[in-house]
Amino acid sequence: MDYLLGLFSRVTSNEVLARLLFVSAIGLSAMLAAVTVVLLVLGLQDPVQRRLALIKRGHSGNIAGQDAPGNLQLLLERVGQRFGATEAAKASVTPTLLMHAGYRSPSAVQMYWAVRLLLPLILVGLALLLLPMIPRLSLTMGLLLVFMAAAVGWLVPALYVQKRKKARQLRLRTAFPDALDLMVVCVESGLALPQTIERVAEEMAVSQVELAEELALVNAQIRAGIPSTEALKQLAVRTGLEDVQGLVSLLAQSIRFGTSVADTLRIYADEFRDRRTQAAEEMGAKIGTKLIFPLILCLWPSFFLVAIGPALIGVLKVFGKL
């Protein structure tokens, strides 16, 4: 309390105005805390409101089931609903980013924006509570720490989702060659494309769960009446991989012109192996350039210390005797 009062006094240079600002800040904080508690008690604990929220999400059965969201998730969805309900938000890159990261829930956009909004506020509040514990902290440094806390809270969710997207795409890209080989074997044995996708999804359900889920979703869409080319295009959109996009284009052309699907898959599998070999050779060629920085920063100082160190010590001893 004394720290905040002193902070207001240094900013305004007027003790009366500082006390007024201090009392206003305390009153505003108490009012916001009371409103938050009231909303939590009346909104989330009300069975009618919870039931309506679950019906909106499609949980028409027992709300106590395992798939029913909790109170915290409902709260975050309400906070972020304003940002995900507009057409501009739906047309933005956020739904695509979340889809590539593996978040396909209808409320994923609302949850994402709610976390990006609430996390900076929480970190700023924690920073304001910890500032009085830091001795001899200037006003400029305090404001900088508060701004850094807000920036970290705003950027961390985006960085986490981006990292999750890259990790998921790497796993899908790693599992894609095995899926291609299995598809070639299945098609050559006489299975049609939907049955091939279903069989590959079943075989990879243990080793590569994410790719198996994507292929199973493609098979479900084909069974529901969606054309094979459209279902494969949606697969490329969900994964965001150029390799899948290339396969989808080749399969679409093969289905359209009536050529052999087995030959198309075999050609693309060979092309994919060549591309993977070229990528490995490219990574190997970059090793020499990447080793420059460890050599300069780690090995060369040690080498010069061992090579020149004894001579330098001898020179210092000689000059020390003079």
| Per-residue pLDDT at 248 | 83
Q: Does 91 have pLDDT greater than 50?
A: no
Q: What is the pLDDT of residues 169-205, one digit of tens each?
A: 888 888 888 888 888 888 888 888 888 888 998 888 8
The whole-angstrom separation of Cα 211 and Cα 220 is: 14
Mean pLDDT across 96-119: 83
Which of 153, 164, 49, 46 shows the shortest CA–CA distance to 100? 164
The dotted CATH code for 168-281 is 1.20.81
Residue 167's pLDDT band (cuts 50, 70, 90): very high
Q: Per this entry, what is the length of the chain?
A: 322
The whole-angstrom separation of Cα 132 and Cα 125 is: 12
Helix (H) / strand (E) element for 131: namely none
Under 8 Å between Cβ of 232 and 250: no
Residue spans of the domains in the chain: they are: 2-166, 168-281
The whole-angstrom separation of Cα 139 and Cα 145 is: 10
Q: What is the pLDDT of residues 260-290, one digit of tens each?
A: 788 888 888 888 778 878 888 998 888 888 8
Under 8 Å between Cβ of 172 and 204: no
Q: Which phi and psi (to 5°) does residue 85 adopt?
A: -90, -20
Under 8 Å between Cβ of 79 and 114: yes
C-alpha separations of 85 from 14, 90, 117, 118, 158 in Å: 46, 7, 16, 18, 20
What is the pTM for the complete model shown? 0.65
Q: What is the pLDDT of residues 5-58, one digit of tens each?
A: 666 666 666 666 666 666 676 777 777 677 666 655 555 555 555 566 556 555
Q: Does 70 have pLDDT greater than 60?
A: no
